[in-house]
Each structure stands twice: as C-alpha cells, then as structure tokens.
Amino acid sequence: MTRDDGEPGSSTFEAFLSLEVDRPGFISAWLRARQIPAFDVPLAGRRHVVVRFGSEAYDPRFRMKTLVAHHDRVPGTPGANDNSAACFQLMLFASRLAGLSIAHNVRIIFTDGEEAAGVAGIAGQGSYAVGSALRSRGEDLGDVYVLDCSGRGDTLVLSESGPGTTRNRALARGMEELRDRARGLARESAAGRWVSLPTPYSDNAGFLASAIPSQVVTVLPGEEATALLAALAEKGAAQDSSRAAALRDRVARNKKTESGPEAEGYPRTWALMHTAEDAADTLTASAFRLVAGFLDTLARSREPS
C-alpha cells in the first residue's frame, strides 16, 4: 500500500475528503482505473456502488460474503473516520482481491444514505432499500459485514448491536451464527486486539429492518475500548441495572452526554463523529493494518453455504 493509495494523509485520501467531491463517482473511478468491476446502482434516490468480480471468484459450495461501507457523510464535515476510512479500506481490499487466483466469494457495496436514518428513519436509510431489493430478487447476501468508523485506533471492535427482542426467530438465529463466525475471524486475525462492545448503529440498522443479519466492525483506541467496558461493567454491577441499559442505548444512538463526550467512558472517537473535527489527522495507520488483516482473513474463509 503506497501513500497515494489511500492511507491517512495521502493526497488521494485528502481529495476524497473535499467537501465538493462526488464521492460515489470518486470510488467508481478509483476502482475502474485498477480494472476492478464497479457498477453504479441508483436506487430510491440514492447512488450506490457495487463491486462484483467475475464468476471465477465465486464458488457456490461456500458462503457469500457481502462487505458494506457507506460513502455519505454529514454535510459540511470531512467525514474522515465516518466513513471515508472504511471506504478506502474496502477499495484497497478490492484491489487485493483482484490479484487472487482463488474463489473468495466477496461482494462489496458502497452505500448511500446511511446518515439519512437520523432524519428520515430506518426506511429512509440506503441500506434498507438495498437489502429489500436484494431480498426481493432472491439474491444470496451470505454474511454481511458493515465497516464504519474503522480508521482510528488499535483494537478491533465487533458490535453487539442487533435486532434486540425481535419475534423473527430466523433473524435472531442468523445474527447469533454470524457473530460466532465474526468472533472466529477476529481471533485469527487480531488475537488479543479485539473486543465485543455495544456500538452506534450503522447500515446494519437498515439491513436488520430488512430481516438481514449484519455485523458491524469498527475500531477504537485500546484505552477507549477499555474505558467503555469498565463503565458498562460498573453500571451493570450497580443495583439499578437500568443504568447499564441507558448507557448502551446512548451508545447505540451515538448520543453524547451533556457533561462531555468522554463522561462515563464514552469513546472520544465516536464523539468526533458528525463534527468538523472528524479529520484525517485523527486517523491511525494501525487501524488500517488491523482492518486489512481482518478482511484478508475473511477472504480466505471457507464456510459451507
């Protein structure tokens, strides 16, 4: 990976952060320049970009793997970690996949409208329309992994966010099976450097609303992950267990506390989301290496279909 291929601080990455850039057009052009099959998919007023390789990249005996990152950002913000880092991590991953001579069963989707959920509700989120369209066509999504805010830190985080008390038993079962497989990948690729935590919802909200299991993968600095774990344990041990539930809910909705974003273990990394401070200089090369290891391990996995 060269400095111009999308590392934090590279000219290519900085160009992607420009407030005027056509982000889906940028992604498509970057991929096509490297002979990676990328297709623009307009859907419900949104612009998505889909990468699907030739037939030789897919073996029906094994599970499909759908990798997702949203390319949109809160207007007026750089969106370096939310969610430019994940976009470039998947773009670089696509470039590595193009050089493989084995079937990897990976499809990549860069979604539009993730941030719309805060205004238009889950049905207005781009991933909801994508998931609904794929299900209606009988497409096999296999295991869906959503990358979000994955450019800062040294600890891989598997999100515990999920369907909650759903009556859809198939969705609940599929979610638990997906989490088990995600834990196995984390153990193999990031031994001693991963943790399961509640995280803010991302495109997984739209997929879950479409009855599609999906696993969010993110990254935090180790000290922030430890502080959040400690805060949850402290509140969970308190007599009033609703305090732990309240913290989990605040994390899921990325709602900062009035007394400051770091109060009660709230990660500073997530406090930077949706602000002008979400800039390239907050990102770390360690996060890119960590995510690359996870994705490369995923590409080699051979789960029966």
Q: What are the tens digits of pLDDT across the range 202-234?
A: 999 999 999 999 999 999 999 999 999 998 888
Q: What is the mean pLDDT of residues 158-170?
A: 85
| Residue 94, domain member (yes or no) | yes
Predicted confidence at residue 2, as pLDDT, reads: 47
Does the structure show a pLDDT above 90 at 59? yes
| Residue 159, domain member (yes or no) | yes
Q: What are the tens digits of pLDDT across the range 278-301?
A: 999 999 999 999 999 999 999 999
Does the structure show a pLDDT above 50 at 139? yes
Instruction: Beginning with the edge strand found earlier in the chain, give each strand of the sheet holding 194-197 in spatial order.
Output: 38-43, 46-52, 106-111, 65-70, 143-147, 215-220, 155-159, 194-197
Predicted confidence at residue 249, as pLDDT, reads: 83
User: If you average pLDDT over every residue of the chain, what do you get?
Assistant: 91
| Residue 36, domain member (yes or no) | yes
| Residue 242, domain member (yes or no) | no
- Would you say 155 and 195 are in contact if contact means Cβ atoms under 8 Å apart? yes
CATH number at residue 176: 3.40.630.10
Q: What is the mean pLDDT of residues 112-132?
A: 88
The least confident of 3-17, 19-33, 142-156, 246-260 is: 246-260
Of the two residues 214 and 119, the one the predictor is more confident about is: 214
- Would you say 278 and 82 are in contact if contact means Cβ atoms under 8 Å apart? yes
| Residue 233, domain member (yes or no) | no
The least confident of 55-59, 115-119, 184-188, 283-287 is: 115-119
Predicted confidence at residue 5, as pLDDT, reads: 65
Q: Which range of residues forms the domain containing residue 213?
A: 3-221+280-300
Q: What is the mean pLDDT of residues 118-133?
A: 88
Residue-wise DSSP of 55-120? GGG--TTB--EEEEEE----TTS--IIIIIHHHHHHHHHHHHHHT--S---EEEEEES-GGGHHHH
| Residue 275, domain member (yes or no) | no
Q: What is the mean pLDDT of residues 85-103?
A: 95
Does the structure show a pLDDT above 50 at 262? no
Does the structure show a pLDDT above 70 at 199? yes
Q: What is the mean pLDDT of residues 60-89?
A: 97
What b-and-e string marks burial along 207-233, b requiring 16 or more CB atoms within 10 Å of the CB?
bbbbebbbbbbbbbbeebbebbeebbe
What is the tally of structural domains in the chain?
1
Does the structure show a pLDDT above 50 at 261? no
| Residue 99, domain member (yes or no) | yes
| Residue 48, domain member (yes or no) | yes
